[in-house]
């Protein structure tokens, strides 16, 4: 699914859905609050597992990121 075709719930500060917007619109407008999830994996030595984002990502390509992340659709 492309970023332009993926729709996300827009929520208020109480996490109540107040509308829907395309993912690309949400990422381009900080006023469009949307749900996301991030997983941080830490081993017994306290080391954090990160992944490097693909160079083809629209946002922050090639940057280090959380172990897992995504959106609720």
- The conformation of residue 23, written as its DSSP 8-state character, comes to H
Task: Extract the tokens encoding 8.
Answer: 């996300």
What kind and span of H or E run contains 42?
strand 41-42
Q: Which CATH superfamily is domain 7-71 in?
A: Nucleoside Triphosphate Pyrophosphohydrolase (3.90.79.10)
Query: pTM of the full predicted structure?
Result: 0.69
Per-residue pLDDT reduced to its tens digit, 20-44: 999 999 988 999 999 999 899 999 9
CB atoms within 10 A of CB 7: 15
Per-residue pLDDT reduced to its tens digit, 49-69: 999 999 998 888 999 998 888
Residue 17 predicted with pLDDT over 80:
yes
């Amino acid at each position: 699914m492309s970023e332009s075709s993926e729709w996300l719930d827009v929520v208020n500060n109480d996490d109540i859905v107040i509308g829907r917007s395309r993912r690309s619109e949400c990422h381009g407008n900080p006023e469009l609050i949307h749900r996301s999830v991030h997983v941080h994996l830490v081993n017994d030595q306290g080391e954090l597992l990160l992944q490097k984002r693909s160079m083809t990502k629209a946002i922050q390509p090639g940057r280090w990121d959380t172990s897992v992340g995504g959106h609720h659709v």
